[in-house]
Amino acid sequence: MANKINVNNKKMLKICLIVYAVVIITGILFSIFMGLKLDINFSGGARITYSYTGDIKQADFTSAVKTALDKNFTVSKNESLAGNTKTYTINLSGKNALSTEIQENITKALSEKFADNNIELYDSNSVSSSVAGSFFAKSMVAMVLTALLVVIYVGIRFKNIGGISAALTALCALILDLAVTFCTCAIFRLQIDSNYMAVVLTILGYSLNDTIVVYDRVRENKKYYPQLSLNDNMNKSISGVLTRNIVTSVTTVIAVITIIVVAEIYGLTTLRTFGIPMAFGLVSGCFSSLFVAGPLWVLWKERKNAD
């Protein structure tokens, strides 16, 4: 017996698009007026890392660096899982960001300020603007290639329900997910670095998997309930996978929230820049696969049939 149809996919699409619009506009405004924090791999610059013992508050470390450095910089805290190596990393953007004189001045200021904490230079490197530009270009190529593979894969797998339409609407959902992760970084003032690229590729796979589950149910319902209209088929399909998708997403998000809590407690900036956009991206991936990709596919097919 057919399950009761209890999801209005078109109504949910409107609600989701409004929420996405608010998030994206907010993120754009933050980007324009507050600026973006770019890692030196994207903007060019230098990175200097110092190890230490004992406890040093990030605010105190930053204050000490300011006395020796008149450039814009950011400070991130890291700690090995074993807890025996604690470091602070200073990120400087722009050309000629790192010189022997700058490094010596910073080291001297930190050694004087934290004489009892065994401050030592742990690592230092610089990235030219040309290398940073090349890294950015390669990252974009990876994203575009992934999107192209998505279109090809979904188009082939679901050709019996209109492969191209299914592929392009799935791609629309993925674009919204990526926009959410980017806006999350802008709103929470998170640095966009290699962690962000890891988040992007993870969300692409996660969201696409959820979308494929919805399309697969649509294909099955088309076979077993041919009398259903496109809209009713989608409503029934979403109802059938709703609990599964939400439970899976909640379980994953809880694990990511644990990472965020640990990062906040111990001040681990690297984990924070990974966990926060990942959490919002996972939530976005759940809702976009259920209430964006599928409903857009219905609208596409209905308009095509009307023509």
Q: What is the pLDDT of residue 266?
A: 78
Q: Which two tokens stand for residue 306?
A: 């009307």
Q: What is the pLDDT of residue 82?
A: 53
CA–CA gap between residue 4 and residue 19 (Å, rounded): 27
CB-based burial of residue 88 (10 Å sphere; 0-12 exposed, 13-18 middle, 19+ buried)?
buried
Question: 79 has which bridge partners?
Answer: 86
Q: What is the pLDDT of residue 23?
A: 96
* Distances, alpha carbon 268 to alpha carbons 26, 95, 124, 188, in Å: 26, 27, 19, 15
CA–CA gap between residue 208 and residue 152 (Å, rounded): 13
Task: Please list the residue range(s) of the chain that carry CATH number 3.30.70.380.
Answer: 45-127
Question: Which secondary structure element, helix H or strand E, spans residue 55, and what is its range?
Answer: none
Task: Kindly report the CATH number that applies to the domain delimited by 45-127.
Answer: 3.30.70.380
CA 108 to chain centre: 37
Using an 8 Å Cβ cutoff, are 288 and 176 in contact?
A: yes
Q: What is the pLDDT of residue 4?
A: 54
Q: What is the pLDDT of residue 1?
A: 39
* Distances, alpha carbon 133 to alpha carbons 41, 97, 242, in Å: 8, 16, 42
Task: Please list the residue range(s) of the chain that carry CATH number 1.20.1640.10.
Answer: 9-36+131-306
Give the chain's residues under pLDDT 70: 1-5, 80-83, 94-98, 129-130, 132, 307
Which DSSP letter does residue 214 get? Answer: H
User: May I ask the CATH class of domain 9-36+131-306?
Assistant: mainly alpha
Q: What is the pLDDT of residue 2?
A: 44
